[in-house]
């Protein structure tokens, strides 16, 4: 059996940007995160932000534009370079530091530095051992710090594949012989994530589903109807049972009291 390894997007920067950010699903994702984090983005107090696996830095730009200081990290050097270029073009470079390193090396590189907000979006599902990332993220949270965690929902992946009629794939426990490089290797169930956070003495303050409806549509949403779909997603994605059906989960987390 091949040993599981973490996956990065080194060499896939252009493809990643096209497949994620330049699509309806990417626009939905960004809109949901912006809505959820609006109170932090627009707070008058200057915040220290750590963006783990920040990719090309679209979301952290919202914080930087409000004057917050961001440490942008990613395992892939091309991602960091592209993010730096975009931030310079937007006149936001003064609000950024950059670090090219995997999550596991951050404790050594950042010593005892802590942050008001830790962003970790669509990272854990690419790790061989996602559970081990949570204590690392926790150590970067200031005493009143906030963790914004988005992860790929295993339960929603099962549901979607049943809707698509991929019964054999579900029966095989979502395992394939050949790994697709742009497909997350470790989707995480809601029960597992809840248990892991509890074991780390972390408390979930708010749960949001990301793409609760989008991924179950029989036909792709037409461009002229996208805004209507977005508004319906935003209306229902913090309400059960819809929230738990989101292909991704965005959980806002604090230290347990």
Q: Which residues define the annotated binding site for S-adenosyl-L-methionine? A: 29, 53-54, 74, 121
Give the DSSP letter of residue 185.
S
Distance CA 6, CA 187 (A): 13
Fold (CATH) for 13-255: Rossmann fold (3.40.50)
Distance CA 107, CA 19 (A): 31
Distance CA 43, CA 67 (A): 10
Distance CA 179, CA 177 (A): 7
Long-range contacts of 161-170 (CB under 8 A, 24+ apart): 163/216
For residue 78, say if its preceding peptide bond is cis, omega within 30 degrees of 0.
no
CB distance 151 to 127 below 8 Å: no
Q: Which residues define the annotated binding site? A: 29, 53-54, 74, 121
pTM greater than the 0.95 cutoff: no
Residues 101-149 pLDDT 10s:
999 999 999 988 999 999 999 999 999 999 999 999 999 999 999 999 9
Domain locations along the chain: 13-255
Query: Which structure tokens are listed for 174?
Result: 């979502």
Residues 205-228 pLDDT 10s:
999 999 999 999 988 778 889 999
SS3 assignment, position 184: coil
């Amino acid at each position: 059996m091949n040993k599981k390894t973490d996956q990065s997007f080194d060499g896939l920067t252009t493809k990643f940007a096209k497949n994620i950010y330049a699509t309806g699903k990417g626009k939905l994702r960004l809109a949901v995160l912006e809505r959820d984090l609006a109170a932090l983005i627009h707070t008058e107090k200057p915040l220290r932000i750590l963006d783990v696996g920040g990719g090309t830095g679209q979301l952290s730009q919202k914080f930087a534009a409000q004057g917050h200081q961001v440490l942008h990290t990613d395992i892939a050097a091309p991602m960091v370079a592209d993010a730096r270029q975009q931030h310079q073009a937007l006149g936001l470079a003064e609000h950024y530091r950059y670090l090219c390193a995997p999550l596991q090396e951050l404790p050594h590189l950042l010593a005892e530095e802590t942050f008001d907000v830790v962003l970790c979006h669509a990272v854990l599902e690419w790790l061989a051992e996602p559970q081990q990332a949570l204590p690392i993220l926790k150590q970067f949270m200031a005493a009143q710090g906030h963790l914004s965690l988005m992860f790929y929902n295993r339960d929603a992946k099962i549901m979607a594949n049943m809707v698509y009629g991929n019964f054999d794939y579900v029966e095989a426990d979502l395992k394939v012989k050949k790994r697709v490089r742009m497909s997350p290797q470790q989707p995480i169930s809601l029960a597992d994530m809840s248990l892991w956070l509890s074991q780390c003495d972390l408390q979930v303050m708010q749960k949001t589903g990301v793409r609760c409806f989008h991924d179950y549509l029989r036909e792709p949403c037409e461009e002229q109807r996208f805004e209507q779909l977005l508004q319906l997603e935003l209306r229902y994605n913090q309400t059960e049972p819809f929230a738990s059906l989101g292909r991704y989960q965005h959980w806002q987390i604090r230290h347990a009291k």
